Chain A
Amino acid sequence: MQQTSILTIDSLHKTYGDVAVLKDITLTMEPGEFLVLVGPSGCGKSTLLSCISGLTEITSGAIGIAGKDRTHDEPADRDIAMVFQSYALFPNMSVARNIGFGLEVRKVAEAEKKQKVAEVAELLKIAQLLERKPAELSGGQRQRVAMGRALVRDPKLFLFDEPLSNLDAKLRVTMRTEIKRIHQTTGASIVYVTHDQIEAMTLASRIVVMKDGVIQQIGTPQEIYNTPVNAFVADFMGAPSMNLMTAQVARDGDRIRIEIPAADGVPVELFDYGTPPERLPDGHGNVLVGLRPEAMRDAAQMNGALNNRHIQTASCLLDVVEPAGADTYAVINLGGKEAVARLSADADVQAGERTEIAFDLSKISYFDMDSGVRL
């Protein structure tokens, strides 16, 4: 028996006047999924969440939640709960009343309400705060109360709108773990908006990358990371982001010859033995080649791996060297871009010197120069 999808969005459009904010959004989400909407500010991710919540009315298309058409339903009727960026706690009410507000509105019996609030408070470790007012809580505690308010009603779908963006860096990591723990213990279906791609990578079971109101790619974190569908996704996801270098590419027998011009005039020449991408231009042509920093290591540390034919070395001039604790990042001027290589922490390198860099070509991506589309 096929499970009913928890959320289906079918060619959703949203325009404000002449401005199209969301263009032809279609996606499906299964129960228990943790779907993260991510993209730069202005990409439409928050508007999309708002459309799902019903706080924003859509221009055309359809939204279904747990098998029911909810396109024109009020937020309260959609069987969803939302955690707001500002937490949106009711300042005049105690924590207990905040959490139990939805039950209060639905006229749930006092005893049952009390018990449910207590259970949720227990789960979120805020049982001792129930009598306090929001103003007396820390940022992290407010965040927990906001989640409690969402959890207590046990809705079909949870919406999170950049819930961690108001917390300091350290607390953000703690709460991220907390959200993940709650997802795992409750099995809740969550749509989560963030502009922080690390949050997206760590939390999501699937990621929706958006730009300019258009979905760029939907996939698991691994798919998004390893096979980005275009240069934008490659650049946006991952920190530091994928190096996108302009290169001359040509078929050379069963391999592909890649020549990346360097600032000091000595081009880097590499050979890709992998399956050639379908749409690679036949003759010589400029394409964008993408390699993540961890696919560009210092050859001195590679030892045996150098026997692998996918791993090739080339001498590169290091522009800048940035030690960052566990790793040392080196900036190399390649293909007109500042490419970043991830060297080991104890790499003995100096800016302005040449060093042997090992390129892992099994991780290479090719993109069209103009459109940025994956080849």
Chain B
Amino acid sequence: MRRSLSQTLVLYGCAALLAVFTLAPLLWLVVMSISAPTDLTEVPLRWIPSQVDFSRYASLLSLEGGNGERFLSALRNSLLTAGGATAAALLLAIPAAYAFSRRRASMVLLFAFLATIMMPPITYILPLYATFSTFGMLNHTITLVIVYTAMLLPFATWLMKANIDVLPLEVEQAAFMEGASTPYTIREVVLPLALPAIAATAMLSFLVAWDEFFYALIFTNDLSAKTLPVAIADFSAGRVTDYGVIASVGVLATLPPAILAIAFQKFIVSGLVAGSVKG
């Protein structure tokens, strides 16, 4: 069907509006992060920075000075926590997914898995807090890794199950006929075939862990374990007078997920769509 001129105008107008709505807050965050501190306190605002100032990034990325140390240790903790939890979750999710896909484990049980992450964290937080406190585990990265593993596990299991479902069954049967045990078959036959699915699952899991705030807020209290979201909340709530610093931290924390999301768009979007719709 051909469009009339007015329809075309409306269409491109809407597209432009969407682009602005989507990008403006992000662009403004970037602009703030490189504006001179005085530009940010002008009334009304100076939209275009009077000079481009990368000094905040430089200070955040160096261990000299308090901000840099806070940021870099939070970055380290976030990488360790999200990475560790992703690895642990996959390690547990793959056998479980295999049981759901190939050993007729009940779908109701899988849904019960998913239900655990749909519950508000406040349902679990206090007993967890009490237990970790008893064992002196508060403020440790490993504690967050354990909690995040449980948080990532159901979705990772679900996603891996959906991917194992579509692998050719006969190949596994052939392995069993040849005398391979189930662990051997999973390791040597199933995993190599499921590699793309594992990568997609790992990526989505990492992003979820990277984003988590509530448990990190409660279970950590200093540089040794605080993750980026908590550090950012601190920056924002603290006495930082230069809003550009907060903006720079925000930009840096957004870069890894944004780069992943853009680079692996197809992967991630299909994982998201499947993950939210097929249940």
Where the two chains meet, the residues of A that have a C-beta atom closer than 8 Å to any C-beta of B are 53, 55, 74-76, 80-82, 84-86, 88-93, 101-102, 105-106, 149, 153
Question: How far apart are A11's CB and chain B's nearest CB, in angstroms?
Answer: 25
> Are A102 and B170 closer than 8 Å at their CB atoms?
no
Any A CB within 8 A of the CB of B168: yes
Residues of the A chain whose Cβ atoms lie less than 8 Å from the Cβ of B192: 91-92
Any A CB within 8 A of the CB of B66: no
Instruction: Number of B interface residues at 8 Å Cβ cutoff, please give it.
Output: 17
Bound Cα distance A75, B171 (Å): 14
Question: How far apart are B197's CB and chain A's nearest CB, in angstroms?
Answer: 14
Question: How far apart are B250's CB and chain A's nearest CB, in angstroms?
Answer: 42
| 6 A-B pairs with the lowest CB-CB distances in the bound complex, closest first | A92-B192, A102-B178, A76-B179, A88-B174, A88-B170, A105-B179
Any A CB within 8 A of the CB of B184: yes
> Are B177 and A85 closer than 8 Å at their CB atoms?
no
Instruction: Encode B161-197 as 1/0 by CB contact (under 8 A) with A.
Output: 0000000101101111111110010001100110000
Bound Cα distance A105, B185 (Å): 10
> Are A53 and B171 closer than 8 Å at their CB atoms?
no
> Are B178 and A149 closer than 8 Å at their CB atoms?
yes
Bound Cα distance A149, B174 (Å): 10
Instruction: Encode B140-178 as 1/0 by CB contact (under 8 A) with A.
Output: 000000000000000000000000000010110111111
> Are A85 and B179 closer than 8 Å at their CB atoms?
no
Residues of the B chain whose Cβ atoms lie less than 8 Å from the Cβ of A86: 168, 170-171
Q: A101-B180, A106-B179 are in contact. Are A82 and B174 (CB under 8 A)?
A: yes
Interface contacts beyond A76-B178, A92-B192: sample of 12 additional A-B pairs, CB < 8 Å, sorted by A: A76-B179, A81-B178, A84-B174, A88-B171, A88-B174, A89-B171, A89-B174, A90-B189, A92-B193, A106-B179, A149-B174, A149-B178
Residues of the A chain whose Cβ atoms lie less than 8 Å from the Cβ of B171: 86, 88-91
Q: A55-B173, A105-B184 are in contact. Are A88 and B178 (CB under 8 A)?
A: no
Q: A90-B189, A92-B192, A105-B184 are in contact. Are A84 and B179 (CB under 8 A)?
A: no
Selected A-B contacts with CB under 8 Å, 18 pairs: A75-B177, A76-B179, A82-B177, A84-B170, A84-B173, A88-B173, A88-B174, A90-B171, A90-B175, A90-B188, A90-B189, A92-B192, A92-B193, A102-B179, A105-B181, A106-B179, A149-B174, A153-B178
Question: How far apart are A93's CB and chain B's nearest CB, in angstroms?
Answer: 8
CB nearest to B184 among chain A residues: A105
Where the two chains meet, the residues of B that have a C-beta atom closer than 8 Å to any C-beta of A are 168, 170-171, 173-181, 184, 188-189, 192-193
Residues of the B chain whose Cβ atoms lie less than 8 Å from the Cβ of A85: 170
Bound Cα distance A102, B176 (Å): 9
Question: How far apart are B195's CB and chain A's nearest CB, in angstroms?
Answer: 9
Bound Cα distance A102, B171 (Å): 13
Question: How far apart are B196's CB and chain A's nearest CB, in angstroms?
Answer: 12
CB nearest to B168 among chain A residues: A86
Bound Cα distance A60, B179 (Å): 25
Bound Cα distance A102, B175 (Å): 8
> Are B193 and A91 closer than 8 Å at their CB atoms?
yes
> Are B174 and A105 closer than 8 Å at their CB atoms?
no
Best-buried of B174, B188, B189, B193 by chain A (most CB within 10 Å): B174
> Are A88 and B193 closer than 8 Å at their CB atoms?
no
Residues of the A chain whose Cβ atoms lie less than 8 Å from the Cβ of B188: 90, 93
Residues of the A chain whose Cβ atoms lie less than 8 Å from the Cβ of B168: 86, 88
Best-buried of A85, A93, A105 by chain B (most CB within 10 Å): A105
> Are B176 and A76 closer than 8 Å at their CB atoms?
yes
- Among candidates B173, B177, B180, B184, residue contacting A80 with C-beta atoms closer than 8 Å: B177
Question: How far apart are A311's CB and chain B's nearest CB, in angstroms?
Answer: 51
Residues of the B chain whose Cβ atoms lie less than 8 Å from the Cβ of A149: 174, 178
Residues of the B chain whose Cβ atoms lie less than 8 Å from the Cβ of A153: 178
Q: A76-B180, A86-B168 are in contact. Are A101 and B175 (CB under 8 A)?
A: yes
Question: How far apart are A193's CB and chain B's nearest CB, in angstroms?
Answer: 14
Residues of the A chain whose Cβ atoms lie less than 8 Å from the Cβ of B180: 76, 101, 105
Q: A91-B193, A92-B192, A92-B193 are in contact. Are A101 and B178 (CB under 8 A)?
A: yes
Residues of the A chain whose Cβ atoms lie less than 8 Å from the Cβ of B189: 90, 92
Best-buried of A55, A90, A102 by chain B (most CB within 10 Å): A90
Q: A86-B170, A88-B168, A105-B184 are in contact. Are A76 and B177 (CB under 8 A)?
A: yes
Bound Cα distance A91, B188 (Å): 11
> Are B177 and A105 closer than 8 Å at their CB atoms?
no
Residues of the A chain whose Cβ atoms lie less than 8 Å from the Cβ of B184: 105
Question: How far apart are A345's CB and chain B's nearest CB, in angstroms?
Answer: 44
Bound Cα distance A149, B188 (Å): 16
Bound Cα distance A232, B134 (Å): 77
Bound Cα distance A105, B182 (Å): 12
> Are B178 and A55 closer than 8 Å at their CB atoms?
no
Question: How far apart are B202's CB and chain A's nearest CB, in angstroms?
Answer: 19
Bound Cα distance A92, B167 (Å): 13
Bound Cα distance A5, B180 (Å): 27
Bound Cα distance A138, B178 (Å): 23
Q: A86-B168, A88-B171, A105-B184 are in contact. Are A81 and B193 (CB under 8 A)?
A: no
Question: How far apart are A5's CB and chain B's nearest CB, in angstroms?
Answer: 22
Residues of the B chain whose Cβ atoms lie less than 8 Å from the Cβ of A53: 177
Bound Cα distance A85, B180 (Å): 20
CB nearest to A53 among chain B residues: B177
Bound Cα distance A80, B175 (Å): 13
CB nearest to B178 among chain A residues: A102
Residues of the A chain whose Cβ atoms lie less than 8 Å from the Cβ of B175: 90, 101
Residues of the B chain whose Cβ atoms lie less than 8 Å from the Cβ of A74: 176
CB nearest to A85 among chain B residues: B170
- Among candidates B170, B176, B181, residue contacting A75 with C-beta atoms closer than 8 Å: B176
